Structure 1
Amino acid sequence: MKRSIPLLFAALLAACAGAPPSAPQHSFDVHTLAERPSAGTRTLADPQGKAVLVVTQPVLTQRDVQQAELASVADGKPAVRVLFTPEASQRLAKLTREEQGKALAVVIDGQLRLLPKVDRPVTDGRVLLQGFASRAEAETLVRRLNELRDTPVQPEQGAGGQP
């Protein structure tokens, strides 16, 4: 029996080494913020490293994006215009009515990238995301959103605490 353990271990290592690498999973989610930690929340770091408590279940995902395009705001800084599907536009209108005056968490590839404040209800299904460090960052998001809209949504990993 003791002699077979090294053989089993070697076979297990060989099987793991032969497994094909998994393709990177990308995601785009919009989450509401939470006031208190619970089983349905998790903590993410915003771009400045500040801890932000978000509801784990996203309200909108990449499947809800109909189209994304590069835009710019009055000061010439880059922005991304996102058009949501008709069904998602209804959810967005309800969400922005309920969360008016609060921020929403835009999570890209598991990282909190933007915390836009809801100034008014969004009833036309279009949002303008601002706050990008560079034009290249905004262009990357546009490309990713247009690629991701047909990608299946991956279930959340771990509901409480850090991802």
Structure 2
Amino acid sequence: MEDLALKERKFNRLITIVSIVVPLVVAILFGVKIDGVERMGFLPPIYATINGLTAILLIAAIMAIKNGNQSLHQKLMTSCIGLSLVFLILYIIYHMTSESTSYGGDGILKYLYFIILISHIILSIVVIPLVLKTYAKGYLGKYESHRKFAKITFPIWLYVAISGVVVYLMISPYYIN
């Protein structure tokens, strides 16, 4: 049987690869447009809903672990990772079939929108290795280390989930159907 240190090294290698490849692939696919495919304008409210559901499940997962329910915590966190993956797939599909929507507001709201959007994008990249590392620590039973990572990961992931909904709500009046 593999020892814990070897398993952790394998996880770390995979986490590093995923943390580099995912943002690169998203950036590349963002520039790819599929011709002849109907615009998928129905997707933004779906992936905004997924972000909102992720935020709710993250909070529920924290409540579960604070109440000593490790099994429920693990199921909820695994669900959050699954939802994030579904979000990513739908987000890529939307941007490969549709032109980006520009924010049409002005004044202070425009600046606020861009501050939220830019911080959301940057933190959505930063959170990938944090989520995977935190999850791996829990999976490997390294609970003290898991808790230390979770104290950093949780607020960032929650911000990304909530700010995704806020960005959608702010830009939704400007979507072209």
Normalization by structure 1: what TM-score? 0.27
Bigger RCO (CA 8 Å, 6+ sep) = 2
Whose radius of gyration is greater, 1 or 2? 1
Which of the pair is proportionally richer in strand? 1
Normalization by structure 2: what TM-score? 0.26
Which of the pair is proportionally richer in helix? 2
